[in-house]
Amino acid sequence: MKTPDPYSDEELLRKLPGFTNHYATVNSVQLHYVEGGSGQPLICLPGWPQTWYSYHPIAPVPAKKYRVIIVDIRGMGSSDKPVAGYDKKTMARDMYELLQHLGLHKVSVLGHDIGGMVALSFAFNYPAATDKLIVADGSHPSEGMMHMPMLPAAGSFAGKMDGNMPYVWWMAFNQVKDLPEKLLEGRFQHLLDWLFEYVILDASRMSAFDRAVYASVYNKAENIRASNAWYQAFAQDMEDAATYPVLTMPVLGIGSYVSYENIRQGLPFVAPHAQVVGILDSGHYLFEEKPAQVLEAVLGFLQ
Protein backbone atom coordinates (compact mmCIF):
# COMPACT_ATOMS: atom_id res chain seq x y z
CA MET A 1 0.00 0.00 0.00
CA LYS A 2 1.29 3.43 -0.97
CA THR A 3 2.10 5.66 1.99
CA PRO A 4 0.00 8.87 1.90
CA ASP A 5 1.88 12.10 1.24
CA PRO A 6 1.77 13.86 4.64
CA TYR A 7 1.89 17.25 2.92
CA SER A 8 -0.99 16.67 0.51
CA ASP A 9 -4.15 18.73 0.84
CA GLU A 10 -6.10 15.62 1.74
CA GLU A 11 -3.78 14.68 4.60
CA LEU A 12 -3.48 18.26 5.87
CA LEU A 13 -7.26 18.55 6.04
CA ARG A 14 -7.23 15.83 8.70
CA LYS A 15 -5.95 18.59 11.00
CA LEU A 16 -9.07 20.66 10.23
CA PRO A 17 -12.13 18.52 11.02
CA GLY A 18 -15.18 19.74 9.19
CA PHE A 19 -13.21 21.34 6.34
CA THR A 20 -13.39 19.90 2.82
CA ASN A 21 -11.35 20.10 -0.36
CA HIS A 22 -12.64 21.76 -3.56
CA TYR A 23 -11.68 23.00 -7.03
CA ALA A 24 -13.35 25.51 -9.33
CA THR A 25 -12.41 26.78 -12.78
CA VAL A 26 -13.04 30.53 -12.93
CA ASN A 27 -11.55 33.35 -15.01
CA SER A 28 -9.73 30.68 -17.09
CA VAL A 29 -7.82 29.33 -14.06
CA GLN A 30 -8.50 26.39 -11.75
CA LEU A 31 -8.44 27.43 -8.11
CA HIS A 32 -8.13 25.12 -5.15
CA TYR A 33 -9.90 26.01 -1.92
CA VAL A 34 -10.94 24.42 1.34
CA GLU A 35 -14.03 25.34 3.30
CA GLY A 36 -15.75 24.63 6.58
CA GLY A 37 -18.50 25.99 8.77
CA SER A 38 -21.73 27.70 7.82
CA GLY A 39 -23.22 31.16 8.01
CA GLN A 40 -22.06 34.42 6.44
CA PRO A 41 -19.08 33.77 4.13
CA LEU A 42 -15.53 34.74 5.06
CA ILE A 43 -13.02 34.46 2.20
CA CYS A 44 -9.43 33.93 3.41
CA LEU A 45 -6.43 34.63 1.17
CA PRO A 46 -2.89 33.50 2.15
CA GLY A 47 0.49 35.02 1.33
CA TRP A 48 4.06 34.19 0.38
CA PRO A 49 5.60 31.68 0.83
CA GLN A 50 2.64 29.77 2.22
CA THR A 51 -0.64 28.18 1.07
CA TRP A 52 -4.20 27.74 2.36
CA TYR A 53 -2.66 25.74 5.21
CA SER A 54 -1.39 28.99 6.80
CA TYR A 55 -4.91 29.54 8.14
CA HIS A 56 -5.02 26.28 10.06
CA PRO A 57 -4.12 27.91 13.43
CA ILE A 58 -7.18 30.18 13.30
CA ALA A 59 -9.74 28.76 10.81
CA PRO A 60 -11.63 26.39 13.16
CA VAL A 61 -12.78 29.22 15.44
CA PRO A 62 -14.53 31.47 12.87
CA ALA A 63 -15.93 28.30 11.25
CA LYS A 64 -18.15 27.91 14.33
CA LYS A 65 -20.11 30.95 13.16
CA TYR A 66 -19.10 31.67 9.54
CA ARG A 67 -18.64 29.81 6.29
CA VAL A 68 -14.86 29.96 6.01
CA ILE A 69 -13.43 29.57 2.51
CA ILE A 70 -9.62 29.52 2.26
CA VAL A 71 -8.34 29.92 -1.30
CA ASP A 72 -5.01 29.04 -2.85
CA ILE A 73 -4.71 32.19 -4.97
CA ARG A 74 -3.54 31.99 -8.59
CA GLY A 75 -0.02 30.57 -8.59
CA MET A 76 -0.25 29.06 -5.10
CA GLY A 77 -0.39 25.51 -3.76
CA SER A 78 -2.76 23.30 -5.72
CA SER A 79 -4.18 26.12 -7.84
CA ASP A 80 -3.14 26.65 -11.46
CA LYS A 81 0.10 28.47 -12.26
CA PRO A 82 -0.46 30.13 -15.64
CA VAL A 83 2.17 32.26 -17.34
CA ALA A 84 0.23 35.49 -16.80
CA GLY A 85 -2.49 37.15 -14.75
CA TYR A 86 -0.60 37.89 -11.54
CA ASP A 87 -1.55 41.54 -11.32
CA LYS A 88 -3.82 41.91 -8.32
CA LYS A 89 -6.73 43.22 -10.38
CA THR A 90 -6.83 39.97 -12.37
CA MET A 91 -6.44 37.96 -9.18
CA ALA A 92 -9.33 39.92 -7.66
CA ARG A 93 -11.36 38.91 -10.71
CA ASP A 94 -10.49 35.30 -9.90
CA MET A 95 -12.05 35.78 -6.48
CA TYR A 96 -15.13 37.53 -7.84
CA GLU A 97 -15.80 34.76 -10.33
CA LEU A 98 -15.26 32.18 -7.59
CA LEU A 99 -18.00 33.90 -5.59
CA GLN A 100 -20.30 33.75 -8.60
CA HIS A 101 -19.47 30.07 -8.99
CA LEU A 102 -20.41 29.53 -5.33
CA GLY A 103 -23.57 31.61 -5.60
CA LEU A 104 -22.30 34.21 -3.14
CA HIS A 105 -23.21 37.86 -3.60
CA LYS A 106 -21.51 39.64 -0.70
CA VAL A 107 -18.65 38.40 1.47
CA SER A 108 -16.15 39.49 4.08
CA VAL A 109 -12.53 39.05 3.03
CA LEU A 110 -9.42 38.43 5.13
CA GLY A 111 -6.02 38.58 3.45
CA HIS A 112 -2.49 38.15 4.77
CA ASP A 113 0.66 39.39 3.01
CA ILE A 114 0.17 38.94 -0.78
CA GLY A 115 -3.34 37.76 0.05
CA GLY A 116 -3.91 41.18 1.64
CA MET A 117 -2.97 42.81 -1.65
CA VAL A 118 -5.51 40.67 -3.49
CA ALA A 119 -8.12 41.34 -0.79
CA LEU A 120 -7.66 45.10 -1.15
CA SER A 121 -7.86 44.85 -4.93
CA PHE A 122 -11.07 42.86 -4.57
CA ALA A 123 -12.56 45.58 -2.38
CA PHE A 124 -11.45 48.32 -4.77
CA ASN A 125 -12.85 46.58 -7.84
CA TYR A 126 -15.94 44.91 -6.33
CA PRO A 127 -17.11 47.13 -3.47
CA ALA A 128 -20.72 45.97 -3.82
CA ALA A 129 -19.55 42.38 -3.21
CA THR A 130 -17.43 43.32 -0.17
CA ASP A 131 -19.16 43.35 3.20
CA LYS A 132 -16.09 43.85 5.41
CA LEU A 133 -12.37 43.81 4.62
CA ILE A 134 -9.51 42.70 6.87
CA VAL A 135 -5.85 42.95 5.88
CA ALA A 136 -3.18 41.40 8.10
CA ASP A 137 0.37 42.59 7.46
CA GLY A 138 -0.47 43.39 3.86
CA SER A 139 -1.26 46.44 1.75
CA HIS A 140 -1.89 47.13 -1.91
CA PRO A 141 1.27 47.87 -3.93
CA SER A 142 1.85 51.62 -4.10
CA GLU A 143 4.46 54.14 -5.21
CA GLY A 144 5.97 53.95 -1.74
CA MET A 145 7.57 50.64 -2.75
CA MET A 146 9.78 52.54 -5.18
CA HIS A 147 11.51 54.14 -2.19
CA MET A 148 12.49 50.89 -0.48
CA PRO A 149 16.26 50.85 0.20
CA MET A 150 18.56 48.76 -1.95
CA LEU A 151 20.90 48.39 1.02
CA PRO A 152 19.96 48.09 4.70
CA ALA A 153 20.51 51.00 7.06
CA ALA A 154 23.57 50.55 9.25
CA GLY A 155 22.84 48.26 12.17
CA SER A 156 19.32 47.37 10.97
CA PHE A 157 20.01 44.05 9.26
CA ALA A 158 20.63 41.63 12.11
CA GLY A 159 18.99 38.48 13.47
CA LYS A 160 15.44 39.89 13.46
CA MET A 161 13.79 42.38 11.15
CA ASP A 162 14.03 45.95 12.41
CA GLY A 163 10.47 47.20 12.77
CA ASN A 164 11.55 50.82 12.33
CA MET A 165 13.75 50.20 9.29
CA PRO A 166 12.58 46.92 7.73
CA TYR A 167 14.83 45.55 5.01
CA VAL A 168 12.83 43.30 2.67
CA TRP A 169 15.46 42.27 0.13
CA TRP A 170 13.22 39.53 -1.31
CA MET A 171 11.00 42.21 -2.84
CA ALA A 172 13.88 42.81 -5.27
CA PHE A 173 15.09 39.21 -5.49
CA ASN A 174 11.63 38.01 -6.51
CA GLN A 175 11.63 40.49 -9.38
CA VAL A 176 14.36 38.49 -11.12
CA LYS A 177 13.05 36.16 -13.80
CA ASP A 178 14.31 32.58 -14.26
CA LEU A 179 17.19 32.72 -11.74
CA PRO A 180 15.38 32.16 -8.39
CA GLU A 181 13.91 28.82 -9.47
CA LYS A 182 17.35 27.65 -10.64
CA LEU A 183 18.87 28.55 -7.28
CA LEU A 184 16.02 27.39 -5.05
CA GLU A 185 14.48 24.34 -6.74
CA GLY A 186 14.71 21.54 -4.19
CA ARG A 187 16.40 23.93 -1.73
CA PHE A 188 13.58 26.26 -0.71
CA GLN A 189 13.82 25.03 2.88
CA HIS A 190 16.93 27.18 3.31
CA LEU A 191 15.06 30.35 2.35
CA LEU A 192 12.06 29.39 4.48
CA ASP A 193 14.14 28.76 7.58
CA TRP A 194 16.04 32.02 7.17
CA LEU A 195 12.88 34.01 6.48
CA PHE A 196 10.92 32.62 9.41
CA GLU A 197 13.81 33.25 11.79
CA TYR A 198 14.11 36.82 10.49
CA VAL A 199 10.48 37.95 10.54
CA ILE A 200 8.99 35.93 13.45
CA LEU A 201 9.83 36.99 16.99
CA ASP A 202 9.36 33.45 18.31
CA ALA A 203 10.31 31.30 15.32
CA SER A 204 9.48 28.11 17.22
CA ARG A 205 5.82 28.98 16.55
CA MET A 206 6.39 27.94 12.94
CA SER A 207 6.81 24.21 13.50
CA ALA A 208 9.18 21.95 11.63
CA PHE A 209 6.16 20.22 10.10
CA ASP A 210 4.65 23.50 8.90
CA ARG A 211 7.97 24.48 7.33
CA ALA A 212 8.13 21.12 5.58
CA VAL A 213 4.61 21.66 4.22
CA TYR A 214 5.62 24.91 2.55
CA ALA A 215 8.99 23.60 1.39
CA SER A 216 7.23 20.68 -0.31
CA VAL A 217 5.27 23.22 -2.37
CA TYR A 218 7.91 25.86 -3.08
CA ASN A 219 10.68 23.39 -3.87
CA LYS A 220 9.14 23.08 -7.34
CA ALA A 221 10.50 25.42 -10.01
CA GLU A 222 7.02 26.09 -11.44
CA ASN A 223 5.74 27.18 -8.03
CA ILE A 224 8.71 29.48 -7.43
CA ARG A 225 8.19 31.07 -10.84
CA ALA A 226 4.48 31.61 -10.20
CA SER A 227 4.88 33.05 -6.71
CA ASN A 228 7.58 35.44 -7.91
CA ALA A 229 5.12 36.63 -10.55
CA TRP A 230 3.00 38.15 -7.74
CA TYR A 231 5.95 40.49 -7.11
CA GLN A 232 6.80 41.06 -10.75
CA ALA A 233 3.30 42.48 -11.29
CA PHE A 234 3.77 45.31 -8.76
CA ALA A 235 4.32 47.97 -11.47
CA GLN A 236 0.94 47.15 -13.00
CA ASP A 237 -0.61 47.04 -9.53
CA MET A 238 0.68 50.55 -8.80
CA GLU A 239 -0.73 51.81 -12.07
CA ASP A 240 -4.10 50.28 -11.28
CA ALA A 241 -4.06 51.70 -7.75
CA ALA A 242 -3.92 55.23 -9.13
CA THR A 243 -7.41 54.75 -10.60
CA TYR A 244 -9.17 53.41 -7.49
CA PRO A 245 -11.57 55.44 -5.31
CA VAL A 246 -11.31 55.25 -1.54
CA LEU A 247 -12.98 52.36 0.25
CA THR A 248 -16.18 53.04 2.15
CA MET A 249 -16.98 49.59 3.57
CA PRO A 250 -15.71 48.69 7.08
CA VAL A 251 -11.97 47.98 6.93
CA LEU A 252 -9.66 46.57 9.58
CA GLY A 253 -5.88 46.53 9.36
CA ILE A 254 -3.89 44.21 11.62
CA GLY A 255 -0.18 44.94 11.90
CA SER A 256 2.69 43.06 13.48
CA TYR A 257 5.71 44.86 14.89
CA VAL A 258 7.25 44.90 11.40
CA SER A 259 4.25 46.44 9.61
CA TYR A 260 2.07 48.25 12.13
CA GLU A 261 3.41 51.75 11.48
CA ASN A 262 3.13 51.38 7.71
CA ILE A 263 -0.44 50.11 8.02
CA ARG A 264 -1.39 52.76 10.59
CA GLN A 265 -0.12 55.54 8.36
CA GLY A 266 -0.96 54.12 4.94
CA LEU A 267 -4.33 52.38 5.24
CA PRO A 268 -6.32 55.57 5.98
CA PHE A 269 -5.27 56.97 2.59
CA VAL A 270 -7.29 54.27 0.82
CA ALA A 271 -9.84 53.61 3.58
CA PRO A 272 -10.38 56.84 5.57
CA HIS A 273 -12.51 55.18 8.24
CA ALA A 274 -10.34 52.10 8.68
CA GLN A 275 -9.59 50.66 12.10
CA VAL A 276 -6.00 49.57 12.75
CA VAL A 277 -4.90 47.12 15.43
CA GLY A 278 -1.30 46.46 16.36
CA ILE A 279 -0.12 43.07 17.59
CA LEU A 280 3.31 44.35 18.46
CA ASP A 281 4.53 41.23 20.25
CA SER A 282 4.29 39.28 16.99
CA GLY A 283 6.30 39.08 13.81
CA HIS A 284 4.93 38.93 10.28
CA TYR A 285 3.37 35.45 10.52
CA LEU A 286 0.73 36.47 13.04
CA PHE A 287 -1.57 33.46 12.60
CA GLU A 288 1.13 31.12 13.88
CA GLU A 289 2.69 33.40 16.47
CA LYS A 290 -0.35 35.10 18.04
CA PRO A 291 -3.51 33.29 16.87
CA ALA A 292 -5.58 34.28 19.92
CA GLN A 293 -4.91 37.99 19.38
CA VAL A 294 -5.66 37.70 15.66
CA LEU A 295 -8.95 35.96 16.41
CA GLU A 296 -9.92 38.57 18.98
CA ALA A 297 -9.40 41.34 16.42
CA VAL A 298 -11.04 39.49 13.52
CA LEU A 299 -14.10 38.20 15.36
CA GLY A 300 -14.65 41.48 17.17
CA PHE A 301 -14.63 43.29 13.83
CA LEU A 302 -16.88 40.81 12.01
CA GLN A 303 -19.64 40.58 14.63
- The pLDDT value given to residue 43: 98
Q: What amino acid is encoded at 231 in this protein? A: Y
In a domain, 119, yes or no: yes
Q: Looking at the 3D structure of the chain, how many domains does it have?
A: 1
The whole domain housing 276 covers 9-144+235-302
In a domain, 151, yes or no: no
In a domain, 163, yes or no: no
In a domain, 206, yes or no: no
What is the overall mean pLDDT for the chain? Answer: 97
**Segment 274-285 mean pLDDT:** 98
- The pLDDT value given to residue 202: 96
The full DSSP string for the chain is: -PPP-TTSHHHHGGGSTT-EEEEEEETTEEEEEEEE--SSEEEEE--TT--GGGGTTTTTTGGGTSEEEEEE-TTSTTS---SS--SHHHHHHHHHHHHHHHT-S-EEEEEETHHHHHHHHHHHH-GGGEEEEEEES-----GGGGG--SSPPTT-BSSSB-SSS---THHHHTTSSSHHHHHHTTTHHHHHHHHHHHH-SSGGGS-HHHHHHHHHHHTSHHHHHHHHHHHHTHHHHHHHHTTPPPP-S-EEEEEETTTHHHHHHHHHHH-TT-EEEEETTS-S-HHHH-HHHHHHHHHHHH-
In a domain, 178, yes or no: no
- The pLDDT value given to residue 193: 97
What is the number of other CB atoms lying within 10 angstroms of the CB of residue 57?
Answer: 20
- The pLDDT value given to residue 2: 80
User: How far lies 116's CA from each of 142, 175, 255, in Å?
Assistant: 13, 19, 12
Under the banding of pLDDT at 50, 70 and 90, the label for residue 176 is very high
Under the banding of pLDDT at 50, 70 and 90, the label for residue 157 is very high
User: Is the pLDDT score of 1 beyond 90?
Assistant: no
Q: What is the CATH number of the domain that holds 118?
A: 3.40.50.1820
- Note the pTM of the prediction, 2 decimals: 0.97
Q: What amino acid is encoded at 56 in this protein? A: H
